[in-house]
Structure 1
Amino acid sequence: MSKIAFVFPGQGSQFVGMGKDLYENNQVAKNEFDKIFNNLNFDLKDAMFNGPEELLKKTKYTQPAIVAMSLVLEKLVREKGIVPDYVAGHSVGEYAAMGSSGFLPIDEAVKLTSFRGEVMNEIAEKVNGGMAAVLGMEASDIIEALKEVDGIVEAVNFNEPKQTVIAGEKLAIEKACEILKNKGAKRAMQLAVSGPFHSSLMKPAGEKLREEADKYNFKDAEIYLVANTTGDFINKVEEIKNEIYSQSFGPVKWVDTIKKLKENGVDRIYEIGPGKVLSGLIKKIDKEIKVISVNCIEDLNNL
């Protein structure tokens, strides 16, 4: 029997005006957004709807903005009678997946995300790190090549078979890009990000997140979530708390995640939230899976 999965995008998919059409044209969306905005101690609404772009790009705003929009959209998709068998999210998108699976209520999931944004920003400012995207090379070859680099540099985001992101110390990243190009990578380019996310340099963020997570009312999930760091199903409180800790300095195994969903009968995936990045990645991982992107009121009306 065919199964459905919901997946949620990560950082980079934000844009000024995100969620505004939903807020202004749908009462359910407006109520959910207001609940989220009232639960935060900063003005996320203004940042999302009016920007400017520089403000929305700050991790403190970006991460909760993406998760807030994703979860409000998710609620509206469910109202159409579409319910997932499984959920997953890419990087910060995993926090939207937490809300979707039932680990946390929507406003709590966004609040925890805003803490994540702040703490990751804080740690990123203390370490001189960055990230780079490597295209046209197998992940296993990248991992092997990184062993030749002095300093900390790790393969962290396994986005699709020929696209992997590396993260670590700035000098180590530069050297790695040089080595990878010489070994046949089509491109190895540094990304405009504020820190070495998902690398071991971010471990202090994991410690703070683990502490913070204990203040929230988690409950066992109703729907299995495929964890970023393992590519395995989780549904217990203890498992999601471990994932919150590990994911801040552990990998995003997106290729394994999609394979896991496929193995378990998923043939239709809804990408819910801003942008269409995941739709593109999924098509490169498995052409047979049908991907439906839901990122505005029009998409909802077309379901």
Structure 2
Amino acid sequence: MTADHGTRLLLLSATGAGKLAGLARDTAVLLTRPGGPSLPEVCARAADGPHAAHRLSVIGRTAEEVAARLDAHLAGETVREVHTGVADGPARVAFLFSGQGAQFAGMGQGLYRTERVYRETFDRCADAARPFVSTPLQRLLHPDAEPHVVHRTAHGALGTFCVSTALAELWRSRGVEPATVLGFSSGEYAAAACAGALRVEDAVRLLGTEITLAERVTDGAMAVVALDEHTALDVLEDFEPTVGIAAVISPAEVSLSGRAATLDRITQRLAASGIRVSRLPVPAGLHSPLQEPALGELAAVAKGVRTCVPRVPFVSTVTGRPLEAGQLTPVYWGRHMRGPVRFLDAIRVMDAMGIRAFLELGPGRALVGLGARCLPGGGRLWPASLGRSTDGTGTMLDALGRLYTAGAPVSRTAVGAGARPAP
């Protein structure tokens, strides 16, 4: 038995809970047997299937670590790296594409270094984004990347697009295809590309144009307030129309965006009334009335972009409904830039479609956190592809295991290979 320094995913299944427990116990013994098979060999054999309904997944870096986690799980302990479930049919997975603001220095660096599909897709997107950024977006993958580089609005939006689109291709290479897609704010462009409605290069061109235009606004501000949409609209009626609702993000939360001076007066009144207010460090006033002067310029660029009928069902956060044929017009992208982002409506539509596994593609966990607030209760999975990891390999394999326990198909080749150690 040889040690392995890359994260591995072990998948087990059986026809009943008792049989699954017995298989897990036998596997733990096998992994610690002197002269026994290596962890990669055991993972590869287990991934071959066939796969029964009662399922378990566990990640680990060595055979001893995986065996210890199985033993602890069998002893009744809660083990964060172990997941179980009963798959009563193929799981339908929604891809949720993150928007700008989620980015951080070093995001997914490990995946870029070790996964060819991920790296090639990221580089393709980053090359298309060069006209819109002041530094190559690969710089954002360094943990020591300068804050002013990471948090520039254009770098955040386009860097997140690169990460999200690369994750989509990596997930597909591992056997997970989306049943439907959704994008939050700038994530709408990544969702459109994933669905096949836009070429990747055209999605980058549109997003780069929108963000470049949006950055002209320098006296804007944004804030999340604990109000429902209708109450927020009533509050805004008392102020000049330079602030609007930028996003409806949960049943009791909206984001407001617009002229900073006006937003200051609004949030002061709300805070004095005991309403929770969280300011966002975004001077561009995204999805606000301040963007209206730029809509014509965005439309002019959008007229030169060819759109296609989506190959994957696409739930729009512009309308809050499934995208209809011919809807991705220049007017549509103008509505996207002006806002609001209708995340609450869109995630409820996905739930009505029977989706029970919601996977975030992008840095962070913001969308799966918001989604769980929009759709409270059990019976749903909310994994993140990357979270706040600069490595990303273990986080993604853990999410893959969670999806497997819910019934998602998984590529045997991807699981058998595991995450290779970075050079």
CA contact (8 A) 1:90 1:254 kept: yes
CA pair 151-28 structure 1, distance change in 2 beyond 3 A: closer
Q: Are 2:153 and 1:59 aligned?
A: yes
| Residue 139 (structure 2) aligned to one of 32, 36, 47 | 47
Question: Counterpart of 1:8?
Answer: 97
The alpha-carbon deviation at position 270 of structure 1 amounts to 0.7
Question: Counterpart of 1:199?
Answer: 288
2 CA distance for matches of 1:210 and 1:180?
Answer: 36
The alpha-carbon deviation at position 271 of structure 1 amounts to 0.6
CA contact (8 A) 2:140 2:149 kept: no
| AA of the residue aligned to 2:395 | D
Question: Counterpart of 1:83?
Answer: 177
| Residue 203 (structure 2) aligned to one of 98, 101, 109 | 109
| AA of the residue aligned to 1:17 | G
| TM-score (structure 2 length as normaliser) | 0.66
Question: Counterpart of 1:131?
Answer: 222
The alpha-carbon deviation at position 84 of structure 1 amounts to 1.2
The alpha-carbon deviation at position 240 of structure 1 amounts to 5.2
Question: Counterpart of 1:229?
Answer: 318
The alpha-carbon deviation at position 237 of structure 1 amounts to 4.2
Provide the alpha-carbon RMSD of the alignment: 2.0
2 CA distance for matches of 1:233 and 1:297?
Answer: 32
Q: Which moved more, 1:51-60 or 1:276-285?
A: 51-60
The alpha-carbon deviation at position 139 of structure 1 amounts to 2.7
| AA of the residue aligned to 2:104 | F
2 CA distance for matches of 1:213 and 1:239?
Answer: 9
Structure 1 residues without counterparts, runs of 5 or longer = none
| TM-score (structure 1 length as normaliser) | 0.91
The alpha-carbon deviation at position 109 of structure 1 amounts to 2.1
| Residue 356 (structure 2) aligned to one of 258, 263, 267 | 267
CA pair 47-115 structure 1, distance change in 2 beyond 3 A: farther
Q: Which structure has the bigger radius of gyration?
A: 2
Question: Counterpart of 2:78?
Answer: none
The alpha-carbon deviation at position 238 of structure 1 amounts to 3.8
CA contact (8 A) 2:247 2:339 kept: no
1 CA distance for matches of 2:120 and 2:373?
Answer: 37
The alpha-carbon deviation at position 239 of structure 1 amounts to 2.9
| Residue 385 (structure 2) aligned to one of 287, 294, 303 | 294
CA pair 147-223 structure 1, distance change in 2 beyond 3 A: same
The alpha-carbon deviation at position 113 of structure 1 amounts to 2.0
1 CA distance for matches of 2:333 and 2:350?
Answer: 21
Q: Deviations over 1:3-22 (max 9, x none)?
A: 32110111111011224222
Q: Deviations over 1:32-60 (max 9, x none)?
A: 22222333335433432232121121122
Secondary structure of 1:290 counterpart: coil
1 CA distance for matches of 2:343 and 2:304?
Answer: 29
CA contact (8 A) 1:60 1:118 kept: yes
Question: Counterpart of 1:120?
Answer: 214
Q: Deviations over 1:38-97 (max 9, x none)?
A: 333354334322321211211221111001100000111111211112111110111110
Question: Counterpart of 1:93?
Answer: 187
Matched length: 298
CA pair 33-190 structure 1, distance change in 2 beyond 3 A: closer
Question: Counterpart of 2:262?
Answer: 172
Question: Counterpart of 2:24?
Answer: none
CA contact (8 A) 2:384 2:396 kept: no
The alpha-carbon deviation at position 201 of structure 1 amounts to 1.6
Question: Counterpart of 1:284?
Answer: 373
The alpha-carbon deviation at position 99 of structure 1 amounts to 1.0
CA pair 241-233 structure 1, distance change in 2 beyond 3 A: farther
Secondary structure of 1:234 counterpart: coil
